[in-house]
Amino acid sequence: MKTYAILGAGGSFGIHTAFYLLDHADPKKVIGIGRNPLRPEPFSLNVEKRKNYEYHAYHVNYEMDSVLELLDKERPQVIVNYAAQGEGAVSWKKSWRFFETNSMALAKLSEELMKRDYLERFIQIGTSELYGSVNFAAKEDTPIQPTSPYAASKAAFDMYLISVHRHLKFPMNIIRPSNAYCPGQLLHRVIPKTIVCGLTGRKLPLQGGGKAEKSYIHARDLARAILLVSEKAPLGTVYNAGPKEPTSIRRVVELTAEALGIPFSQLAEVTEDRLGQDSRYWLDSGAIKRDVGWEPQIGWQEGLEEMAEWGRKYFDQLCDWPMDYVLRA
């Protein structure tokens, strides 16, 4: 029985990973570490009530000593890192904040973890955005071409991990997932925003008409990839994790409207495209299927029906929740 630690555990993906590990990994304990106290139930999904789970609010930038003291106390064999300054669309301003967390703080943490004998595997959750816009399914060795400061900051830490594994044997893996979605996701993301707009009768601003194509997986599929990599993957390997084909944002909104039972025309209105919008994110996930047997299992119908059910269950809390992203340290 292993102890798992999840950094960035206050976010929806970290929460779903905790649920998945508790349900499928037979863990001794799952430790969640995030910069904030857990949000209300629509976003925390009451993860803190699960047996063998503990959550601690520590900031990896400013409370590194507390993070390390907790890790040394619990001695997790596997550390999963979601901690990041996210949202590439806003990284053009105060871009140094993205490097502060996504590169510098995590490099400092990794250097400290190299001194710990309990760590068996560090799994970094990267991003498909570092490949930039592609007209083919990008493989792990496709040259990276980040098109935002956010993507550049994520790429920098990936390169760091690859180098310290190669030369210092740091026990790491990197998973570069496509865009994930799930119940509990904050409302600045397109799918939960579409759910709440549909339920409240608001118009969803569809940037650029939704022409951009992104690849999407459910966060539970990502969590399953993490567990399989932690158990079966050779150390030092980098894996893409996404569906076979991308989907246009317009089509995602259309499918979400179907899940809600409302017309697309009632739901969305076209607005100007955002700065730096990549036209297509598309991954070749053949390596992770070959090595650990992973491929997505949750299709659009199942995933979006689950999102609609979440929206209806927590409608009273979600209808007034902010939909804009706020950059914080």
Is the Cα torsion angle 329, 226, 173, 119 positive or negative in sign? positive
What is the per-residue burial (b if ≥16 Cβ within 10 Å, else e) of 226-257? bbbbbeebeebbbbbbbbeebbbbbebbbbbb
- Residue 141: inside a domain, yes or no? yes
pLDDT confidence bin for 196, thresholds 50/70/90: very high
Give the pLDDT confidence score for residue 274 in this predicted structure.
54
- Residue 288: inside a domain, yes or no? no
Q: Domain of 42: which CATH number?
A: 3.40.50.720
Residue 3 has pLDDT above 80, yes or no: yes
Number of domains in the chain: 1
Residue 46 to residue 174: CA distance in whole angstroms = 28
Mean pLDDT on 261-265: 93
**Cα diameter, the chain:** 57
- Residue 158: inside a domain, yes or no? yes
Give the pLDDT confidence score for residue 63 in this predicted structure.
97
Output the six-digit token pair for 190.
Answer: 């397109």
Output the six-digit token pair for 255.
Answer: 């499918």
Give the pLDDT confidence score for residue 161 in this predicted structure.
98
Mean pLDDT on 6-18: 98
- Residue 8: inside a domain, yes or no? yes
Residue 102 has pLDDT above 60, yes or no: yes
pLDDT digits (tens, 9 = 90+) for 202-219: 999 888 788 889 999 999
- Residue 259: inside a domain, yes or no? no
- Residue 176: inside a domain, yes or no? yes
pLDDT confidence bin for 187, thresholds 50/70/90: very high
Lowest mean per-residue pLDDT among 85-99, 206-220, 231-245? 85-99
Give the pLDDT confidence score for residue 329 in this predicted structure.
60
- Residue 94: inside a domain, yes or no? yes
Question: Any idea what the Cα angle at residue 20 is, between residues 89 and 251, rounded to 5°?
Answer: 40
Lowest mean per-residue pLDDT among 19-23, 185-189, 209-213, 318-322? 209-213
- With a pLDDT cut of 90, the percent of the chain lying above it is 87
Q: Fill in the DSSP letter of residue 287.
A: H
pLDDT confidence bin for 277, thresholds 50/70/90: low
Distances (CA, A) of 274 to 92, 271, 311, 329: 12, 9, 26, 23
The model carries a pTM of 0.95
- Residue 286: inside a domain, yes or no? no
Average pLDDT value for the chain: 94
Domain that residue 88 falls in: 3-180+217-241
